[in-house]
Amino acid sequence: MQQDNLNINIRPEDCTDVKCDECDSIFFEQVVQIKRLSALQSPSGQTSYAPIPIFRCVECKTVNSEFTH
């Protein structure tokens, strides 16, 4: 099955800024949250870990509620 290439033109001026819930900064950095899966839940029967990329505010380190899982 061949996928068609979608030519989507998104203009930055048509997008809205995401602001920090706490300080209204518009600058974020990507950090990694680690989730643990217990051996009882894991298909392998061993404890495993999953890295989850998440964004936090550069200024105050807040993670917006819309970024949490």
pLDDT, tens digit, for every residue of 25-35? 999 999 999 99
What's the pLDDT score for residue 27? 98
Average pLDDT, the chain: 90
pTM for the whole thing? 0.70
pLDDT, mean of residues 42-57: 93
pLDDT, mean of residues 37-66: 94
Distances (CA, A) of 35 to 15, 47, 48, 52, 62: 31, 11, 8, 7, 19
pLDDT > 90: percent of the chain = 65
Alpha carbons within 13 angstroms on the beta-carbon side of residue 4 total 3
What is the three-class DSSP state of 31?
strand
Number of helices (H) and strands (E) in the chain: give both, helices first.
Answer: 0, 2
